[in-house]
Structure 1
Amino acid sequence: MTRPPNLLFIMADQLRADYLGCNGHPTIKTPHIDALARRGVNFTRAYCQAPVCGPSRMSFYTGRYAASHGASYNGVPLRVDERTLGDYLRPLGYRVGLVGKTHMKRDEDGMSRLGIDPDSSRGVLISQCGFEPFERDDGLHPDQLANPDLPYNRYLREQGYTGDNPWQSAANSAEGDNGELLSGWYMRHNHLPARVREEHSETAYTTRRAMDFIEETGDQPWCLHLSYIKPHWPYMAPAPYHEMYGLEDMLPAVRSNAERECPHPVVEAFMSHGESREFSRDEVRERVIPTYMGLITQLDDHLGRLIDFLETRGLRDDTVIVITSDHGDYLGDHWLGEKELFHEPSARIPMIVVDPRREADATRGSRNDQLVEAIDLVPTFVDYAGGDSQALNHVLEGRSLHGLVTRGPADTWRGYAFSEADYAWRPARKELGLAPDEARAFMVTDGRWKYIHYANHTPQLFDLATDPDELEDVAHCDVNRAVRGELEAALNEWFKARRLRTTISNDLVEQRTGTAHKRGILFGVW
C-alpha cells in the first residue's frame, strides 16, 4: 500500500458470537464471514462494554467505557465534549461515513449551552456521533414514530410499496391468508416471509448504500461504519431466508431448572420481563430462531456481494475489514430474552479483523483467545490510519489490536475484560425496589472466571472452564473465596483507572512535571 488503508467497520445489531460457522455453530450457513475469518484474525474472547445498543455503541465509537463517557443506556445523550472515531480519523485525511445505525442521542442541552447549531456542519457531526451521515437509519420505526421521509421509506415507495411507513408495513410485516397485515413486532408472525422482496429488504438496501458511499468517495482514504439493523428484532426475513432453517437446525436452549427455581434476585427480576417469559416458551423460540438464523445468512450473502464489489474495484487489498456486533441475544437461554445481563450469549461479541497487507500474513486465518474489548477498535483504527494511539492514552481506554493482527498474540496483554449495565429504565429495577442510581451491575472476567457485582445485591461467579454454559453460580462456595476477592479487587482497580483527565496528554504532563521554577513560578524559595 502506498497510502493508509481504507477501513470498513461492519456491525450487525444483536448478532451472537456463537451464531457463525467460524465460531462453531453446526448448522448455520455463513460462508463469506467464515472466509473473512480465514483471511484475518478471529478474536474469540471479545466482549462489549454494555450489552445494550446505545451504551455499547458509544463505547465502540469513543474507545471509552460507559462509566467514562456517561451514555449508560439507550436515549442517554453522549456528552458534547466526547471525541469519537471521526474526530480522530478526519485530521489524518479520512472521510468518515455512516450507513445504518448508531442509536446515538445528541446532547441537545450541551450544544445549546455552547451555541452550536445542530444543522451546521459541526453540529451535524456532533449530532451523528462524529460520522458523516451518508445514510443513518436506526431501524426502529413503529407507525407512531416513523418518518415518512426516511430515505428507506422513500425508496420502498419508489419500488411500489404503499403507505407512510412501508418499513413497517412491508419490510417488517407479513401477509395473512386473506391479505391482512401481520405485524412483525408480534413474534407469532416471525416464521412468515416479509412482504418486501429480498432485493428491497433492509439488508440489501443498506449494502447498496455502502457501495454508493465507496464509489462516491473515490481516491480519498475512507472509514465506513456499515451498521446493519438485522438480525435485531423485528425478526422478519424476506423469502427465501424465512424458511431456510427449521427446527432441526436449532440448538437446545442453554438453561437449567435450577436457574429458574433458585435464581439470583436481579436475574429473577429480568426473568419476569415479558420478553423473558415469552422466550422461555418453546413455541416462541421455534418461531424466532430459524428466522434469526435466516437473517444472519442473508447478511452473510450481502457481505459476499460487498466483498466482490471491493475486489471488482481493486479495493480488496487496500481495505482493512472489521466484523463485529454491539451485543448478543439471549433467545431464551437462561430463561431470558433480549440482552442486558452478562451471560456469554449477551455480552460476548464476534470480532474478526482482516488486514490484507503482507505484514499480517503471519496471523492470517488464526484464532486469538486473548481478552478483547469493543473499546479496542478506536485505537486500532487510529494506528491503521497512521496515527499514534499511545499519544491518546489519556483519553482512549482501549488497546490497539494492530500488533495482535500483524504479529500475533502478545506476551503482555490485558488480564481482565469489563462490561457494565445500567438497568434504571427497566421494570426489574422497580421490582427490586431500587432507586435509579442503584440499578447498576458490573462484570469482570479473566477468561477463566466471570464475576458480576450488583449494587445492593450479592455477586455472582461462574467458572467458564468447568461450566462454560454458566449454569451454576459458585459465588457462595467457600473454596472460591480467594477468586472472588481477586476479581472484586480487579473491579475496584478498574474503577480507579478511568480516564478522567482528558484535556491534556500524558506526554505533556511528563514534560511539565517539576518545571515550575524554570517557568518562573517561584513558590517555596528562600
Structure 2
Amino acid sequence: MSKKNILVIMSDEHSNKLLSCYGHPLAKTPHLDALAARGCRFSSAYSNSPICLPARAAFATGKHVHETRYWDNAHPYEGAVDSWGHVIRREGVRSASVGKLHYRNETDDVGFDEQILPMHVVGGQGDVLGSVRDELPRRMRCKSLADNIGPGESTYTEYDRNITRLSCNWLQENATDGPWVLYVGLVAPHFPLIAPQQFYDLYADLDIALPKMYADDDRPDHQWLQQWRNCWIHNEFFTEDKVKIALKSYLGLCSFMDDNVGQILQALEATGVAADTQIIYTSDHGDNLGARGLWGKSTFFEEAVAIPTIIAGEGVAPGTVCDTPVALTDVAATIVKEAGADIPDGWAGESLWDIAAADYDPQRTVFGEYHAAGAISGAFMLRKGRYKYIYYVGFEPQLFDLQVDPEELTDVAGMAEHQPLLAEFEAELRKICDPEAVDRLAKSDQKKLVDANGGREEVVAKGGFGATPAPGTQAEYS
C-alpha cells in the first residue's frame, strides 16, 4: 500500500450542528464548506467519549475507553498503549503535532517525532475533581462560562493564532519531504466563549433564538441528567441575554476557527504537494450550548457527542455525503491505513476512505461511553441506523429515532412497541462490554486517584480549574 501525506486538523468542542455545510442557517464556515465540497462529509460522526481526554485517547489509540482505562480528564494518554503515531513510525512515516494534544506531558513517547507548542494537562495530572464520582460535587468554576463571553481576545484565541502560524511554517519547511502526517490541534470553539471582534461582528446584530427545550418545564426529566445538572451548574449563572451573547460568541469562534483552517489549507496548496495529501477535519466532541439547559459536553445528545468529520483527497468523490455512522476510532484507523500501514488487530475502527466509498450501512454500530465529571454512573451509547440508544448504569435507558426526531425532542424508550428494540440494543451493548463491570472498574481506578491526591474532601475543597490553560498561563482553581 502506498504511503501518503496526511493533514489532520482537529478542533475542540465543535458540534456538527454549527457548520453551514451541515445545515446551520447562520454559521459562516466557508473554508470547511469548500473542503466538504471537494470531499466527503460524514453526517453521523461521533466522539467515542464526549469529553477531552478520553476522546483524544480513543483518537490516539483506536481503542475504546474501557479497553485503555483513560477514563476522564485526570487519566491522560501517556503512550503506554500504541497510538497511530507509533504504528506509522514503524512504517517509516514521520509525524508532527502542532497545538493541543491534551495528553500527559511533552516528554512521553506518544508517537510523534516532534511536538510543536503542545498543550497538555495541568501538572501532568489534569482535573482530579472529575474523578469524584461517589457523590457528585457542585463545580463552582462553571460560573466562569457565563462570565467570560462576548467579543474580544483570550489566551485561547492567541494560542490558536500561533498554532496556525506554526502549522503554516511547518508545511512550508517540510511538506516536500514526504511521506508525513501533520496533526494540527486547534482550540476554538472551546470556551471561554470570547470571539475576536471581527468574527463576533458577523453575528452581533442577529436575533438569536434561545436554545431548544431551554425552559425548565421543557427539559427532559431523567434522573441521571438531574444528577449531572447538580454537578455541572453552568445554567445557574446564565440570563437570557447572556445565553444569546454566548451563542453569538460560539458562532464567532466557529468562524474564527474556520478562518484558521483556511490559512492552513492555503499554506498546503502553496507547497505544491496538496494533490498528494489526504486531509481530515474533525473535532474531539461538541457542546450542548444551552439546549435542555445544558452547557459544555459530557452527554450523549447530538449537540455534545456528534462531531463534524470531513475528508478530502485522492479516492474521495467530491461533494459526497456519507450517512453511515463513524467515530474517532475510525479516524485513527484511517490515518494508519492512508499512511500505508495495516490497521492493528483489536482496533475498533475502519478507514473513512473505505466507508465513504461503500454503500450506506444501516447495520454499522458506533459505540461511545462516558465515565467522567458529572456522571453518577457509567453511560453508554450505541448509534445504529436511525436509532440512538443510551444505557445508564442504574437508571432507565433512552432511545431516540433520529430519522423522524433529529433534534431528540422525544425519548421513545418507554413506548411498548420499542421494548424489543431496547432488548436488542442492550444485547448488542453487552457483546461490546459489561456496562456494570466497566462502571465498577472506572470508579475503582478513579477512587485510587482521588485517594492518592489526599482523598475526596481535599480534592473537592481544592476545586476545579475549568479549561486547561494555554501554554505559558496558569490554572485557576475555584
- TM-score normalized by the length of structure 2: 0.80
User: Could you tell me how far 1:465 is from its partner in structure 2?
Assistant: 2.1
- 1:58 is aligned with what amino acid? A
Partner of 1:418: 367
Q: Give the Cα–Cα distance (whole angstroms) in 1 for the partners of residues 93 and 165 of structure 2.
A: 21
Structure 1 stretches lacking a partner, 5+ long: 107-117, 119-123, 146-183, 430-438, 498-526
- 1:41 is aligned with what amino acid? C
Partner of 2:459: none
Partner of 1:109: none
Is 2:478 aligned against 1:479? no
Q: After superposition, where does 1:499-514 map in structure 2 within 5 Å?
A: none
Is 2:134 aligned against 1:134? no
Query: Structure 1 residues 385 and 350, CA, compared in 2 at 3 Å: closer, same or farther?
Result: same
- TM-score normalized by the length of structure 1: 0.73
| Contact 1:370–1:409 under 8 Å retained in 2 | no
Q: Give the Cα–Cα distance (whole angstroms) in 2 for the partners of residues 195 and 486 of structure 1.
A: 48
User: Quick one: which of 312, 322, 329 aligns to 1:375?
Assistant: 329
Partner of 1:85: 84
> Could you say what the CA RMSD is over the residues aligned between the two structures, in angstroms?
2.8
Q: Give the Cα–Cα distance (whole angstroms) in 2 for the partners of residues 286 and 478 of structure 1.
A: 39
User: Could you tell me how far 1:268 is from its partner in structure 2?
Assistant: 1.3
Q: Which structure has the bigger radius of gyration?
A: 1
Is 2:147 aligned against 1:188? yes
Partner of 2:407: 469
Q: After superposition, where does 1:39-58 map in structure 2 within 5 Å?
A: 39-58=38-57
CA deviation vs aligned residue, 1:191-223 (integer Å, no higher than 9, x gap): 132278x9x822221111112222333413211
Is 2:432 aligned against 1:494? yes
User: Could you tell me how far 1:4 is from its partner in structure 2?
Assistant: 2.6
Q: Give the Cα–Cα distance (whole angstroms) in 1 for the partners of residues 275 and 219 of structure 2.
A: 54
Q: Give the Cα–Cα distance (whole angstroms) in 2 for the partners of residues 31 and 455 of structure 1.
A: 42
Q: After superposition, where does 1:330-341 map in structure 2 within 5 Å?
A: 330-341=288-299
User: Quick one: which of 268, 275, 285 aligns to 2:243?
Assistant: 285
- 1:481 is aligned with what amino acid? Q
| Contact 1:444–1:450 under 8 Å retained in 2 | yes
Q: Secondary structure at the match of 1:215?
A: helix
User: Could you tell me how far 1:230 is from its partner in structure 2?
Assistant: 1.0
Q: Secondary structure at the match of 1:479?
A: helix
User: Could you tell me how far 1:346 is from its partner in structure 2?
Assistant: 0.5
User: Could you tell me how far 1:352 is from its partner in structure 2?
Assistant: 0.1
User: Could you tell me how far 1:244 is from its partner in structure 2?
Assistant: 2.2
Q: Give the Cα–Cα distance (whole angstroms) in 1 for the partners of residues 121 and 146 of structure 2.
A: 17
- 1:375 is aligned with what amino acid? T
User: Could you tell me how far 1:50 is from its partner in structure 2?
Assistant: 0.1
| Contact 1:191–1:287 under 8 Å retained in 2 | yes
Q: After superposition, where does 1:101-500 map in structure 2 within 5 Å?
A: 101-105=100-104, 124-126=107-109, 128=110, 130=112, 132-138=114-120, 185=144, 187-194=146-153, 201-217=158-174, 218-246=176-204, 248=206, 250-255=208-213, 260=218, 263-278=221-236, 281-355=239-313, 357=314, 359-360=315-316, 363-389=317-343, 392=344, 394-405=345-356, 408-410=357-359, 415-423=364-372, 425-426=373-374, 429=376, 439-495=377-433
Structure scoring higher RCO (CA < 8 A, sep ≥ 6) equals 2
User: Could you tell me how far 1:256 is from its partner in structure 2?
Assistant: 6.1
Q: Give the Cα–Cα distance (whole angstroms) in 2 for the partners of residues 216 and 26 of structure 1.
A: 39
| Contact 2:53–2:76 under 8 Å retained in 1 | no
Q: Secondary structure at the match of 1:206?
A: helix
User: Could you tell me how far 1:270 is from its partner in structure 2?
Assistant: 1.9
| Contact 2:400–2:413 under 8 Å retained in 1 | yes
User: Could you tell me how far 1:30 is from its partner in structure 2?
Assistant: 0.8
CA deviation vs aligned residue, 1:169-191 (integer Å, no higher than 9, x gap): xxxxxxxxxxxxxxx94533421
Q: Secondary structure at the match of 1:353?
A: strand
Query: Structure 1 residues 205 and 6, CA, compared in 2 at 3 Å: closer, same or farther?
Result: same
Q: Secondary structure at the match of 1:255?
A: coil
Query: Structure 1 residues 440 and 398, CA, compared in 2 at 3 Å: closer, same or farther?
Result: same
| Contact 1:101–1:139 under 8 Å retained in 2 | no
| Contact 2:390–2:398 under 8 Å retained in 1 | yes
| Contact 2:398–2:412 under 8 Å retained in 1 | yes
Q: Taking every aligned residue pair, what percent have the same amino acid on both sides?
A: 30
- 1:485 is aligned with what amino acid? A
Q: Secondary structure at the match of 2:348?
A: coil
Q: Secondary structure at the match of 2:151?
A: coil
- 2:265 is aligned with what amino acid? I
Structure 2 stretches lacking a partner, 5+ long: 128-142, 436-478
- 2:333 is aligned with what amino acid? P
- 1:241 is aligned with what amino acid? F
User: Could you tell me how far 1:98 is from its partner in structure 2?
Assistant: 0.9
CA deviation vs aligned residue, 1:313-343 (integer Å, no higher than 9, x gap): 2022121111110000011001111111100
Matched residues, number: 416
Worse overlay, 271-280 or 205-214: 271-280
